[in-house]
């Protein structure tokens, strides 16, 4: 299914860019933009598939780890720690070097 979709969308993007940019057809340019956008949105949803043969007695453990914290989450956590600890007070104002 995906290979057929990939081939058709690639052809639409290629032909749309060729007809739209080189020959000036705004309809084909819109077709290219929509096909490219659709490919972009659907490509993020593809699951990762791993195949591997198992020997007798081997097993598989599947885990799902939470994503690492974002910068925003790290900053908020640092702010909360500073507020909970009373902050640096006056001793940390001019002590940077």
Q: CA 41 to CA 29: how far, in whole Å?
A: 18
User: Mind listing the pLDDT tens digit for each residue in 53-91?
Assistant: 999 999 988 888 888 999 999 999 999 999 998 655 555
Buried b (16+ CB within 10 A) or exposed e, 7-38: eebeebbeebbebbeeeeeeebbebbeebbee
Q: CA 56 to CA 42: how far, in whole Å?
A: 38
Q: Is the pTM of this model over 0.85?
A: no
Q: What is the mean pLDDT of the chain?
A: 83
């Amino acid at each position: 299914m995906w290979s057929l979709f990939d081939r058709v969308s690639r052809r639409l993007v290629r032909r749309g860019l060729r007809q739209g940019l080189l020959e000036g057809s705004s309809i084909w340019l819109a077709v290219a933009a929509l096909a490219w956008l659709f490919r972009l949105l659907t490509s993020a949803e593809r699951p990762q598939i791993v195949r591997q043969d198992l020997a007798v007695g081997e097993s598989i453990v599947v885990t799902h780890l939470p994503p690492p914290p974002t910068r925003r989450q790290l900053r908020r956590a640092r702010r909360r720690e500073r507020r909970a600890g009373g902050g640096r007070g006056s001793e940390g104002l001019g002590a940077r070097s």
